[in-house]
A and B are shown apart, each in its own frame.
Chain A
Amino acid sequence: MAFDYGKYIRPGKLPHIWCPGCSYGIVFKSLLRAVDAQGLDPDDIALVSGIGCASRLPGYVDFNTLHTTHGRALAFATGLKMAKPDKHVLVVSGDGDATAIGGNHFIHACRRNIDITLLVFNNFIYGMTGGQYSPSTQPGRFASTMPYGNVDFAFDIPALATGAGATFVARGTAYHAAALDKLIVDAMRHRGFSVVDIVNACPTTYGRRNKFKSPTDMLLWMKDAFVPAAAYAKLSPDEAAGKFPMGVLHRVDGKPEFCEAYYGMVERLKS
């Protein structure tokens, strides 16, 4: 039977707001499949977002959904999670929302290792506002605020998360959608802060400025440029040029999770 996305989508909300060819819908479907695969009760899930194209996603989903202010989704989510530690708190956030204005909350959520899953919808651009460059836009690429080619530098989001203390860090892409289901499931099942940097395609404000003739070309670029981590490690420097590792890139299982540490303290104080 074809997967019934209708089970999770709020009636009458489709067609969604994202542009023709925007890959967010592909990743959105992967997220729904991942939630379904875990058999979670929608009552127990909070889906939090900030501001931007990706941040409109919660409105479509029949969970407890919270569309907050630009960059602050993780901080709102931290409040939700600390108040109800046994619930699932999931954050969707664009590359600008998560690592530019939201950068401080990003690194601290990683450091704190609170049991929240952050899905970064990384399309290398601020799409909602018309195509300005973001902290993940690669050098040389074009954007409305880098009309002569980006002379700024980009975060390696997984490395940033790893360095800040996140205990599950992965990268997926909209093209490798089936593999993404598993990454999201593993991230959500992980006890601790989990980040999945999900490479996405914005044909409208990024693709057109960067010589991608069609949305499909952007997906095919992902197919070529992203290599499973183990294989990537074996590439020679020039083979690796223009390519990036994907899959689970960093995982630590020993670090205490913040809610467990906090409520462990609460228990200790009772005795």
Chain B
Amino acid sequence: MTKGRQAEKVEEWENAKVRIRVVPRYCKGCEICVKLCPVRALGMERFKSKVADIDKCILCMQCEMRCPDFAISVERKEEAP
């Protein structure tokens, strides 16, 4: 996502509809994304955000919108034809 000097370690979850990426080095564990996710799709693990259940995600983009640290991004995957 962000052009770092060396590529940032990124954790990724995806299903047919969506791909969610988290950059652990950017995440400061503020939990805003976890608490504001309307469907509880996210959770914390060792003070870092992670996707608890990708299939709950409704692509509302609240987590990406509210993350202060560029740590989480949500990508709608193109509908399979």
A interface residues with partner B (beta carbon < 8 Å): 1-6, 9, 11-12, 14-16, 18-26, 28-29, 175, 177-178, 203, 214-216, 219
Residues of B within 8 A of A178 (CB): 65
In the complex, whether B3 has a CB less than 8 A from a CB of chain A is yes
Residues of B within 8 A of A14 (CB): 2, 4, 26, 69-70
Can you name the residue of chain A whose Cβ is closest to the Cβ of B47?
A: A20
State whether A20 and B1 are in contact (beta carbons under 8 Å apart), knowing that A2-B73, A2-B75, A178-B65 are contacts in the complex: no
Q: Are A22 and B4 in contact (CB under 8 A)?
A: no
In the complex, whether B29 has a CB less than 8 A from a CB of chain A is yes
In the complex, whether B74 has a CB less than 8 A from a CB of chain A is yes
Residue in B1, B36, B65, B75 whose beta carbon sits within 8 Å of that of A5 in the complex: B1
Which residues 7-46 in B have Cβ within 8 Å of A in the complex?
21, 25-26, 28-32, 35-36
State whether A23 and B68 are in contact (beta carbons under 8 Å apart), knowing that A2-B75, A219-B36 are contacts in the complex: yes
What is the CA–CA distance of A172 and B65 in the complex, to the nearest angstrom? Answer: 15
Q: Are B65 and A15 in contact (CB under 8 A)?
A: no
Q: Are B4 and A11 in contact (CB under 8 A)?
A: yes
Q: Are A15 and B69 in contact (CB under 8 A)?
A: yes
Residue in B2, B5, B25, B66 whose beta carbon sits within 8 Å of that of A219 in the complex: B66
Residues of A within 8 A of B66 (CB): 26, 175, 177, 219
Instruction: Render B45-77 as a binary contact track against A, CB cut-off 8 A, 1 for contact.
Output: 000000000000000000011111110011110
Known: A2-B21, A14-B4. 11 other contacts (CB 8 A): A2-B1, A4-B1, A5-B1, A6-B3, A11-B3, A12-B5, A21-B30, A26-B68, A175-B66, A214-B35, A216-B30
Q: What 3 A-B pairs are tightest by C-beta distance, nearest first?
A: A25-B68, A20-B28, A21-B30
Q: Are A216 and B2 in contact (CB under 8 A)?
A: no
Q: Are B1 and A26 in contact (CB under 8 A)?
A: no
Question: Dominant SS at the B interface?
Answer: loop
Shortest Cβ distance from B23 into chain A, in angstroms? 8
Q: Are B1 and A216 in contact (CB under 8 A)?
A: no
State whether A21 and B1 are in contact (beta carbons under 8 Å apart), knowing that A26-B67, A26-B68, A29-B70 are contacts in the complex: no
Shortest Cβ distance from A53 into chain B, in angstroms? 12
Q: Are A216 and B4 in contact (CB under 8 A)?
A: no
Shortest Cβ distance from A36 into chain B, in angstroms? 14
Q: Are A15 and B28 in contact (CB under 8 A)?
A: yes
Shortest Cβ distance from A89 into chain B, in angstroms? 25
What is the CA–CA distance of A11 and B7 in the complex, to the nearest angstrom? Answer: 11
Q: Are A21 and B32 in contact (CB under 8 A)?
A: yes
Q: Are B70 and A5 in contact (CB under 8 A)?
A: yes
Residue in B21, B25, B36, B69 whose beta carbon sits within 8 Å of that of A25 in the complex: B69
Q: Are A215 and B1 in contact (CB under 8 A)?
A: no
Can you name the residue of chain B whose Cβ is closest to the Cβ of A217?
A: B35
Q: Are B73 and A214 in contact (CB under 8 A)?
A: no
Q: Are B28 and A19 in contact (CB under 8 A)?
A: yes
What is the CA–CA distance of A15 and B21 in the complex, to the nearest angstrom? Answer: 16
Q: Are B68 and A216 in contact (CB under 8 A)?
A: no
What is the CA–CA distance of A24 and B69 in the complex, to the nearest angstrom? Answer: 9
Q: Are B31 and A215 in contact (CB under 8 A)?
A: yes
Q: Are B5 and A11 in contact (CB under 8 A)?
A: yes
Shortest Cβ distance from B15 into chain A, in angstroms? 16
Q: Are A177 and B29 in contact (CB under 8 A)?
A: no
